[in-house]
A and B are shown apart, each in its own frame.
Chain A
Amino acid sequence: MSAKAQRTVDEALAREFGLTAEEYGNVLSIMGRTPSFTELGIFSVMWSEHCSYKSSRAYLKTLPTTAPWVIHGPGENAGVVDIGHGLAAIFKMESHNHPSFIEPYQGAATGVGGILRDVFTMGARPVANLNALRFGDPNNPQTRRIVDGVVRGVGGYGNCVGVPTVGGEINFHPAYDGNPLVNAMTVGVARQDRIFLSAAAGIGNPVIYVGSRTGRDGIHGATMSSSEFDEDALAKRPTVQVGDPFVEKLLIEACLELMATDAIVAIQDMGAAGLTSSAVEMAGKGGVGIDLDLDNVPQRERGMTAYEMMLSESQERMLIVLRPDRTEQARAIFDKWELDFAVIGHLTDTGNIVIRHKGEVEAEIPLAPLADQAPVYRRPTAPAQKPQPMEPIIDPVGVEQALIRLIGCPDLASRAWVYNQYDSTVGGQTVRRPGAADAAIVKVEDTEIGLALTTDCTPRYCRANAKLGGAQAVAEAWRNITATGARPLAVTDNLNFGSPEKPEVMGQFVDAIAGMGEACRALDFPVVSGNVSLYNETRAPDGTSQSILPTPAIGGLGVLENVRQAVGLEMPEGCDVMLLGETKGQLGQSIWLREILGAQDGEPPELDLAAERRNGDFVRGLILDGTVIACHDVADGGVLVAVTEMVMAGQAGCVLDAPQSGMRPEAFWFGEDQSRYVVAVRDGQALATLAAQAGVPCRRLGRSGGEGLTLPSGSTISKARLLAVHSEFFPRLMDR
């Protein structure tokens, strides 16, 4: 072992590295001796929450992950589903929350870079990026800094790499003040017979390092992401990595070029915990050993120790196991793209990972127990606090005023200021850009296939009722895909929660997964990949810590066999505008309640998964046969906001009928009852007949036409006024 004087390894150091006393005890028994400094570093990152999923693994296993169209579910770098014609969509969503608070630009940028690598490492060309962002109170001065940096970072990386950013969602809530959420999703397309996995095989096969050189950035990033922030959070800036999107672009092209040959046995990107996790996981999955000589690792800085190299999270790096006689062929490809290429080791039959540096063995750890004896916790849970029951409602402002306030509020205002900083059309395959439809539609080049892509979650529902909120997030993703005409196939999940060591947070987590699982099963919408981000907490100066709202973000993917059948929000003149699905006028946890009465009370709207499926299947059928010309799901803000968004998206206005009798107008117009769609059809009477046959509640809302939105009162709000109110929030917040 190294004679270099690093810190003495003991329980105190283990604790600093984030291991508990018990976990350190397990390290000692696995090793049969005191580990070296480097070995302790490897254990600590592999057993961190971020890499080991120790608090979440037992529950994640309950989620449905299979369907006839699922090719690879969780366990690989990303999920893989069959989209027909011998092609597969490969996709995943991943968080970069903690780095994005510390250094918003690089945190968000490297979040995009990391998720791109997870997808192209499997052989897919990335075709679309999406994201799900949560920020603090707009009135908090920190929020501006974070929004600005995150949006620039997402765009700075995605635009340069040349992958269109086509969709996403944004919420604001004070619970994210000290802990924003940056969840990035990438979707790629590959041939089904050219999908690359990470399990290493072939004793003696060379282990290759490609991409950027290793520096001291991001050391212990995975551990940082596995603990709460304290008042010194900003001092952790050196743990944030710095991205180089151009190298990523080169890496994509070089890897795809190499993947067109049969040189690769296994490949994985170096993500969280860098070289450690990629080497350990590849060898571990393949049941082989791996010897690495760090002298051969391309380095950006001088004098790096084995510990630093193993724990660095420098970006844009990949680890590849090659067939033995293909090294020169592969090297030529990486030379062409001017990327570093180094043979840094080989596979062995020892079952150990052995790290050599400057002629000394710095680490030698048996891989099986490192994986098998990783901690698994079933942490205590406690029921979350129930929301206050709703007070009897008195509408103080009336429908017109409420609508104006809602479409201008932070959660519903136009996101154009944001997505106009993301290149959404590069590559020339974007059929529906951000804002044009409920899901973004991207054509698969040289085919007629369309992919429908969305990210969804309603954190305020999750806080009020985590199980219902988890189910609702899945249902909303399914609904958004359905509303374009696409068939929903599968989801990736990004589970953002507070500290699992708080029983009520753990309770939210367990409940949310239960709800997600129910919805995924009912809708045949399995989970094929995902990521868990815990310890999203901010410690206040008084020592108390505040958890974020439970935020199980769902990334959904659907497919259209003929992309030309997709519909969006824009409706032509002279259509009947119809509402499908049942309206009970549920205002609990609604945006109306929050924005107009300042209350966050009541139960969220009910979710009947059988009705969800029935209504959705009905709508999708009518889109594909051309009956439905425009479609928008009813979500935040209710029916009136949905119709208004359709008016703002196109040329035609809308003249509304009177609301449902026997219901208060605000409840009808702003209630957030689930499983509903607003559709534009040529013949509303015919639709009503079909709906009755299918058992789908249906009523006419009005007729498209005119210059703006004409309310039942007879008052017309011009489209120009709607757009002005709708587009005011972001520029006012950010450009002042």
Chain B
Amino acid sequence: MAIALRGVTGQAPAMVWHRDTALPAGLDLVVLPGGFSYGDYLRCGAMAAHAPIMAAIREFAAKGGHILGVCNGFQILTEAQLLPGALLRNAALRFLSQDCFLRVERNDTPFTRHWAKGDVYRTPMAHGDGNYIAEAETIRMLEDTGRVAFRYVAENGRLDAGDPQLNPNGSMNAIAGVFSENLRICGMMPHPEDLVDPLMGGEDGKPLFTGLVEALVG
């Protein structure tokens, strides 16, 4: 993630220690990257959601700050209730590390502005717990208010949440990423930051980052 951010912004992101209690001043974006915070021996992200730094991140969010959470970062955001829903074990109960295709559900957000609505892009995914779930009412609210960011689809954009080839972890409504109510927090399971260099197989994930730079730094 740090490599991808450095690649698009030209500067190294500031690293924040989990035991810190304050964020650096003047931030444009907070990113919660992937990994296995505290080993994730409890529910994924459950420990990290209570890390000392999280109070400052909540405050940042409350003031309208932009936050991107990827993979474990998404899990932490749901555990911290900064985003709705939860991530269960993958439907097949196995870790899945493979490419998937994501459909962009709206492009009027800082995270998606460099795509068109309905665009499909390839991105690696690598997680054991990415099966998105929420109460029926929450799902309906997310759908009705346009808060689904990305969905797992076929390369040609076809959506079938019941097909494990297309929706590999079994997420409800094939949801791969969601927005907060103010559209300033985005959490997603796949790893667009791992596909930002042709040498590594493509730049399909790059629009997320170039879009954020344009929206937040101008």
Contacts and interface: CB of A to CB of B under 8 A. Distances in A.
Contact of B199 (A152, A422, A433, A443): A443
Interface stretch (B36-44, B137-145, B177-185): B36-44
B97 A428 contact: no
Main secondary structure on B side of the interface with A: mixed
B79 interface: no
A564 B199 contact: yes
B60 to A, nearest CB: 24
Nearest to A433: B201
Contacts of B197: 428
Contacts of A428: 3-4, 193-194, 197, 200
Contacts of A245: 36, 39
B18 to A, nearest CB: 10
A189 to B, nearest CB: 15
Interface in A415-454: 416, 419-426, 428-431, 433, 443, 445
B124 A425 contact: yes
A159 B191 contact: no
A424 B98 CA distance: 9
A208 to B, nearest CB: 23
B39 A160 contact: yes
B126 A159 contact: yes
A69 interface: no
Nearest to A446: B3
Contacts of B128: 159
Contact of B95 (A162, A421, A735): A421
A425 B194 contact: yes
A155 interface: yes
A530 to B, nearest CB: 29
Nearest to A244: B39
B84 to A, nearest CB: 26
Nearest to B98: A420
A28 B134 CA distance: 69
Contacts of B191: 425
Interface in A399-428: 416, 419-426, 428
A431 B126 CA distance: 16
A246 interface: yes
A425 B199 contact: no
Contacts of B126: 159, 423-426
A563 interface: yes
A424 B97 contact: yes
Contacts of B187: none
B34 interface: yes
B56 interface: no
Contact of B36 (A152, A160, A430, A431): A160
B200 A431 contact: yes
B27 interface: no
B92 interface: yes
Contacts of B94: 152, 421
Contact of A425 (B38, B95, B96, B97): B97
B199 A155 contact: no
Interface residues of B, number: 25
Nearest to B168: A420
A160 B191 CA distance: 16
Interface string B174-218: 000000000000000001011001011100000000000000000
B199 A160 contact: no
A579 B72 CA distance: 46
A496 B4 CA distance: 42
Interface string B4-36: 100000000000000000000000000000111
Contacts of A247: 39
A569 to B, nearest CB: 14
B48 to A, nearest CB: 12
B152 to A, nearest CB: 15
Nearest to A563: B199
Interface in A707-736: 735
Contacts of B96: 420-421
Interface string A216-246: 0000000000000000000000000000111
Contacts of B36: 159-160, 162, 245-246, 249
Interface string A330-373: 00000000000000000000000000000000000000000000
Nearest to B40: A160
B197 to A, nearest CB: 8
Nearest to A151: B94
Interface string A132-174: 0000000000000000000010011001101000000000000
A431 B199 contact: yes
A159 B199 contact: no
B207 to A, nearest CB: 17
B41 A246 contact: yes
Nearest to A248: B39
A126 to B, nearest CB: 15
Contacts of B92: 735
Contact of A162 (B35, B38, B124, B193): B35
12 contacts: A156-B95, A159-B95, A159-B97, A160-B40, A421-B95, A421-B96, A422-B95, A423-B95, A424-B97, A426-B194, A428-B194, A563-B199
Given A152-B94, A426-B126, 13 more contacts: A155-B97, A160-B36, A246-B36, A246-B38, A249-B36, A420-B98, A421-B94, A421-B96, A425-B126, A425-B200, A428-B194, A428-B200, A433-B201
Interface of B: 3-4, 34-36, 38-41, 92, 94-98, 124, 126, 128, 191, 193-194, 197, 199-201
Enumerate the 4 nearest inter-chain pairs by beta-carbon distance, A residue then B residue, closest first: A246-B39, A423-B126, A160-B36, A425-B194
